[in-house]
Structure 1
Amino acid sequence: MNNCGIMQLTHVLALALSIFNLVSFLWLACTVWLNGDRRSLIARVGVVGLSLSALFFFIHALLISGPYSQTASLVSADFLWRLIWLPALGVPYIWFMIGLHYASLINPQWERRRPLLLIVSGLLGTCVLVLLLFNQATFTFARSIRLFAYDDIPQDTNTGVLSPLILLPIVFLVYVTFCAIGPWFTPGRVARLIKVAILFLFGGRNRLRGRSLRSGLIDAFWEDKTETEQLEEPVLSWHQARPGLLLAALLMVALTTSLGGLGVWSMFNWLRHGRISPPTVSGPQAEMLPFNLMLIDILAVGAVACVLLLIGYSIVRHGILIERPLARRGFFEQWRGIVIVASVVALFVAVFVAITRTNVSGLLLVTLVTTGIYALFTWSSYTAHDRYISMLRPFLRSTNLSHWLKTDLRKTEQNMEDLFFHLCKDVLAVQCARLDVLAGSVKRRFSYRWNVGEEDEKQESALWGRQRMASKPPLRLNSQGGRKQPRVQAYRIRILLHGHEAICWVVPIYDELGLVAKLYLGPREDGAGFTDEDMDLAHACGQRILDTLRDHEAMLAVAGLLRRRTVDVKLLGAQQRRVLHDEILPQMHLALLKLETLRPFVDGRQSIAGPPQADVALNEAVSIISGAHRQLAAMMRATVTSAPHRLERDGMMQAIHTLIAQDFRQSFDEVSWQVSDATARQIDDLVPPAIAELIFAAVQEALRNAARHARGTDIHRKLKLTLTATCMPDLAVTVADNGVGILSASSSTTGTGGGLLTHSALLAIVGGSLSVKSEPDNGVTVQIVLPAGTLV
């Protein structure tokens, strides 16, 4: 390959890299503007910086695509050369602003440094701009090319050490380097890095407290004041994106250092040799940029392309500049796609221009418009996806406690009607629909504009030769775990809709019991067909409605169990009142009468050695009073004490302590309260009032069971009660006794267990659990556990 071919190849490569950077920067600018938080100042600054970067490479592509000594398309090369200095000076400063903004979010010290650093970098950029303005004649495009390529210094140019010819490249490289590493390397940070390196060299790992050199340098460099687990957006995104952006900054520094070295070498030649006559170039090479400058340009633009990839990854993966959460996986795939497309398009345009000698300005404009349209398409697709998800939000909301506590069937069905209406109107956009619930205690039907009579449904004429599904669905292998899952196999039937035949889709819904519901979907409003995604979505939403109805039925069962328990308590109270009225009070009255017959003997009106009827009356009175006492004691043990009013006033643990000390003080021979005051206060502060009532009622039921059944048939058995409570990390309350246990208790003292069953169901509703452990003659242990997440 001759020299002309090599130069042609370098021009093609340089132009392709420039167009790649142009397309990528423009797509990132559009993405940040369309998808970011436009109210955020840093997002707007980021859009300006990315747009200026795209403008730089647009002008750069125009300048390197044509002869440097002639005009480029509609404007002159000198105009483009002066215009390119605007993004060349603005982009580093914007990069510096963005780095300082995110650094100040993690370390407050940057907040104090930021004004001074911005002023210093602004002064450096202003110096470069002033030198350019006052030396426009010296730094034209053609003269600059000849100067850097051939050391061709014009006769009227000063070559002193403090001349603009020497100062301008130096100040510009210092400005770019300072903006690139300013947010990363401060004097204090550099000092810490040097200190860690010295400690490692002279003291080894012992001086670093056992840490490796790498971990010591990382800790000294980042200087984070807050733990990563405590960071929130957008600080967390910046924390995750910092390694990639630091690498981008180091690449920029390496680029400016390389260019600075070449510049110093060129300046040394200028000062040592003075004015040098450039070589004479003729032929096609005279129309191209010099080969040595093209190699330097390829190196610089290629380094910027690497920096661009790192910045783009930080934007689409971590949300830098977006300032709001993104569908990051989808945007990363879009970014990967735009990189591939930009590479292909850039290479195609560069080769096409080299072969046909076409003016590149028109192709660049077409490329810009295409990139903008592609960014708009990406934005609109994800906006439509967000709207679609927002429409599905009512079906995605989890069942909360308020839903569980609703026992009004009419309100629940009304809510399900609203969900079904939302599914049919907003999500699927069908003309009519119906959901028939075939399982459950009550058969239900939800309709949406369904005016089709049963007699008009021609379900026997299935289209396309599809047969109705049997009672059991076909099975398919799940690709994730190999488990067999029922397949949603919808089929079509003909119906009469407004007097005309129409196609209706039937989506059967199965569970482990078989066919539980059928969803009928009429034609769509726009006349389009249903996709597999629509069918899966309809099936999932129908299943969601069925699950809600089942939850309601479960709540009704729990509520019925609770009502039955309440009725049992009321019946027990009524029975106790009847026993007091019909049995104990008459016995006490009879005992009083018996004792009244003994009054003459007490007053001395009769002799002590009187008739034997006095002894008989005394014995009968004592017997009657003893029997009444035993009945009252049994009734006291069987009585279900009510929740004290001090539950809200004193807190749950204090209320439980008072319950044991007052209401059950005669039920246990010994009580061990193993809860410290600090733990009790922490539990009272942690547990919400509604959950505290559930826990209190469950503890009360456990105490009542222990007081009533723990002694078994031996009423003189010594009974000890132990209560413990912890809240680290989950809340656990344990009630234990040393009684006879459940298995060895006689049938007369065992009970039905409905009380603890009810409380276990209620605790399960709020995410807790109630477990009962028992062994013969080792007592019963009732443990109530609520995870920490359920108490928030």
Structure 2
Amino acid sequence: MVYKLLTLVDWALIAGSLFNAIALLWLGLTVLLSAERRSWGTWLAGGGLLFGGTFFVGHTAVVGRVIGAFTGEMDFYWRTGWLVLIIAPYLWYLVMGWYSGVLRDRAARLKLIGVSLLGAVALLMALFVDPLPSYADLARPPLGPADLLSQTTLARLIYPGFAALCIVLALLSLRAPATSSDRFMGDLARQRARPWLLAASAVLLAIALAIGIASVWFLDQARAEIFPGLTARGIGMLIGFDFLICLLIAAAVVLIGQAVVAYEVFTGAALPRGELARQWRRALILGGVYAVAVGWSLSGAGIPGQPIYQLLIATVLMTAFLALVGWRSASEPSGGLARLRPFVASQNLYDRLLGPGGGGDDEPEAVFHALCGELLGARAAYLLPLGSLAEMAGPALAHPDGPIPDASAIIATIQATPTGHAPLCLPINPASHSGAGWAVPLRNDRGLIGVLLLGAKADGGVYTQEEIEVARAAGERLIDARAAAEMARRLVALQRRRIAESQVIDQRTRRVLHDEVLPQIHATLLQIADCRLPIDTQGGPHLQSAIANLQAVHRQISDLLHALPPAIGPDLARVGALGALRRAVDSDLGGAFDHVRWEVQAEAEAAARRLDPLSAEALYYAAREAVRNAARHGRGDTPGRQLTLTARAYAGSDPGGRPLLTVTIEDDGVGMGAVPTRADGGHGLALHSTLLAIMGGTLSIASAPRRATVITISMPLPTQQ
């Protein structure tokens, strides 16, 4: 019965030791391979974990032997275990001091020097001054006084005392970290990971104290020949205590691993990676199952004398685990696609544009709510379109529905950050942004197109790097889709209006030509024929009437030509958009204003000539439409009102450094709000805004009733080689 119980404890000890070896080696390699910035602290943390894993590899080799079988190499592992008791706590204190940032303080560095000197003394004592007894010495007669408080026993208290001191200092470093971290989002990671690291430190402190007290008692008992020795009872006590320590270390390893994978405490990554957490869970499952199965085969309860069966068990386990991992990896894409379906599915653009009423305007809001509520689990989120697509992407969206916070400060910060150095997201103050704590920049080839503000997760967790990347991609696609749909809607509406206008003009042309022009021409021909009579008798009056008819026909044909859509200006390609605009104003619209002022920089004139033909045409017609609107509606109901037009043009750049040509058309008329609704529904500037957005430009209007109207047109310039 005693032997069966002993074999079960031995099985548990082997399994625990093997589990610790697997987990520590996995964590050490993961920290070193996945680190974004390999500083000395990263190397120390990864190396320390690998050091612990290597120790447990040797520990497994010791405890995996047949119970009671001790050889000469046991003395090496016995002494190595004491060295680990000195080195491992010191490494933990050093890593925690680096991670918490306290080593930047001069007093903390002096404290580290003192602890290092004390550790060196303990190490020298263990190696040279007071060497530990070997396993053979433990079986001999007493080596010294049997008193528990003997001088030799008290001298060896320096080892567990030093270990406990290092762990306590590590706890103090975690409780009072430095004010700020130099790592992006490091403060949040430090705050979230602190409970895990504090718990791990507490477990390590308990281990150090337990080993210190038990080792002193064990050595004293062995010297006094009170310890039962290598009997079943003595071996049972050793294995039981070893298993208890191994179990505590396994708990500390799991806590450290949770901090590493959930908050990237040692790798330096900006955000935790969900895939890393999944791999850690798989490593724990593999380590647990593998350790239990192989531990059973190595223990007295299994088949310790049959290494071929142990190898076969390990092979079967590894094959089964690889099959399970492959199965999970194959099923994860389908689950991810199901979650992303609202963002990759058809937007039903055809039905929204050509269907009755053009419905479906609430679909972007539904997609946004699905992104924030179902996929990200955010308590609050806001999507703010910016740049050239802002006017067509529609108003900002909120989840849940509510007012949009003022994000001008964070937007200015994002715009001032170079694109190549822009972080994945920026922390913001939730109190001043309606609960949003993160700002995710949204970009396309033309620069910044929007900002996604995210609040805390509903479950209190932290966003993973994959979630932020999905949110960014979905936000960019949502803005692009809304802008594209609005562009298409405007172009379809324009096409419908143009078709209707063309039909009206065609019908009016046919009616005028058939009912008015042709009869007048026919009557004129008859009158000219009558002019063959002598002028002094009947020809004079007929000739005058014929001339009047021809003049009326000329006016009607001229009016028809003016009503036709304008052709592209021939001067556009030769003199550029600004030169063509100046000629159009001077020749066609100059008489509509009392004064016309031009403030055009020479750089802007040269930049306008560098525009490609499509961009130049879009800029020219948008500016001409703005001038025409000022001429038609600037005076309002007061025809005698003084009206001045000011046209400005200058070359500059946007906040992201992209070169821009900016044209402003300003009039001091009655303002747009004081003018009745136009017959065409006011779609002229909306059309040109759409065309400019297609070219990457923008059109904005600033106006108020009874005040000046300013229309600003911006067009990106081609980069000079």
Normalised by the length of structure 2, the TM-score is 0.50
Normalised by the length of structure 1, the TM-score is 0.46
